[in-house]
Amino acid sequence: MDRGKRPSNLFGNKNCKIYMGLKDIIRENALAYLPAKSLFRCTGVCREWKLQISTPFFAHNQSNCFQSTSGFFYQTTSGVPSFMSVDPMAYGVPDPSLSFLPEPVDIRSSSNGLLCCQGRTGYRAYYVCNPVTKQWKKLPKPENDHGADPAVVLVFEPSLLNFIAEFKLVCAFKSELDGLEFEIYSSQKGSWRTSGEICFGNHVLSPKSGVYVNGTVYWRSAYGFTSFDLTSERCQFHNPYYAFGGVFGSMNGKLCVADLRGHRLVLSVLSNTHSNTMQLKSKAKTWDQIQHDNITDVVGANNSWKYNGCIKYIGGDIVLAQNGSTYSSYDMKKKTATTLGEFDVGSNSAIVGYVNSLVEL
């Protein structure tokens, strides 16, 4: 039998992807990389797109594909939560005031589409929510007193293997043994646990400075910064290389400190996390300064930036700069800036970066 003349069904199969139209190609391969607000508009394109976007599997896929900083949550001078969008046409939430939560809250932390808030009544419970879907969870009461302004950090890393968001909440609190202790909430176990690690010494942390980077939580302290490794649950105190100004953030999986000196944006990246264990007079660098940008040229700001400007956030390629009540975002990769406008941000408000994600709680 001449098998070489047998007709192939490969090119006759109309379900083959080479026969997909542009609409179907976008639905299968591009939609998951869009932010939540843009996806809600896409549901009006056709019935197939609406069904695709509304499935739990798509929400799970989108939370893994889209992880760009979309804006910033903050609180106004009256204490009401609000949202500052990097691009209002693309990014947004239906209820920036978070009125869907059962009580008024203070914003504490954010991680990959999830937002951590704290209630103002009773034992001041922690809430973790997705502002896009309005899904929320109330956490049980911690075992320890976290203080009036807790140094708490939300940790959520999307995973293709986990369809339900598994997150942790890490809080550093003052120990009765003259030091710092750490309490950890695990959504997988649904309970709090106090770590056996104690960081002795008079470490006064800046509560709103906490940031999670590559398995470790970092906080600013009065004379340096403190780190807590979530795997080994070991704490370290680090002396600063940089000036005492600036804001903590993450860039390329490393801790970064961003500061505005004059008209220039100065970035310092933690390159050696074991500097405390090295021999004296070692020439190994703890911090690397990797970028100096003249932010005035890009933002188009006046000379007041030299005296009043400051950096409020850095994450990935996005920097948020403040000059009085005016806020601007700067994309370090594209070398472009956008004036976001004037915002009524409270003097003691945390400003946390937010990812416009469909992640399910």
Q: Where are the beta strands (DSSP E) in 41-140?
A: 71-75, 81-85, 105-111, 114-119, 126-130, 135-138
Instruction: Provide the mean pLDDT of the chain.
Output: 84
Q: Can you name the residues that pair with 150 across neighbouring β-strands?
A: none
Q: In this structure, are residues 239 and 223 in contact, taking their beta carbons and an 8 Å threshold? A: yes
Secondary structure of residue 58 in the 3-state scheme:
helix
Those residues with Cβ within 8 angstroms of residue 276's Cβ, 6 or more apart along the chain or in another chain? 236, 237, 238, 239
Higher pLDDT, 228 or 242: 228
Give the pLDDT mean for 175-204: 90
Taking the C-alpha atoms of residue 272 and residue 250, their distance in angstroms, rounded to an integer, is 15
Q: How far apart are CA 210 and CA 328, in angstroms?
A: 22
pLDDT of residue 243: 45
**Mean pLDDT, rounded, for 290-303:** 59
Lowest mean pLDDT among 141-145, 285-289, 315-319: 285-289
Residue 261, helix vs strand vs coil: strand
Question: At which residue do the structure tokens 């070991």 appear?
Answer: 234
For the domain made up of 22-275+284-355, give the CATH fold: Neuraminidase (2.120.10)
pLDDT at 277: 47
Tokens of residue 134, six digits? 């309005």
Across the strands, what pairs with 181? 173, 198
What is the rounded distance in angstroms from the CA atom of residue 81 to the CA atom of residue 117? 10
Residue 108: pLDDT band by 50, 70, 90 thresholds? very high
pLDDT band at 301 (very low <50, low <70, confident <90, very high): low
**Cβ burial, residue 8 (10 Å; 0-12/13-18/19+):** exposed
CA distance 303 to 299: 12
Beta strands (DSSP E) in 201-282 are 211-213, 216-221, 224-229, 235-238, 247-251, 254-261, 264-270
Q: How confident is the model at residue 20 (pLDDT cuts 50, 70, 90)?
A: low
Identity at 155, one-letter amino acid code:
V
pTM: 0.86
Q: How many Å apart are CA 154 and CA 249, to the nearest integer?
A: 14
Buried b / exposed e along 112-138 (16+ C-beta atoms within 10 A): bbbbbbbbeeeebbbbbbbbbbeebee
Helix (H) or strand (E) holding 289: strand 287-294
**Most confident region among 12-26, 195-209, 242-256 by mean pLDDT:** 195-209
- For residues 313 and 321, what is the distance between their CA atoms, to the nearest angstrom? 7
**What is the C-alpha separation between 27 and 52, in angstroms, rounded?**
8
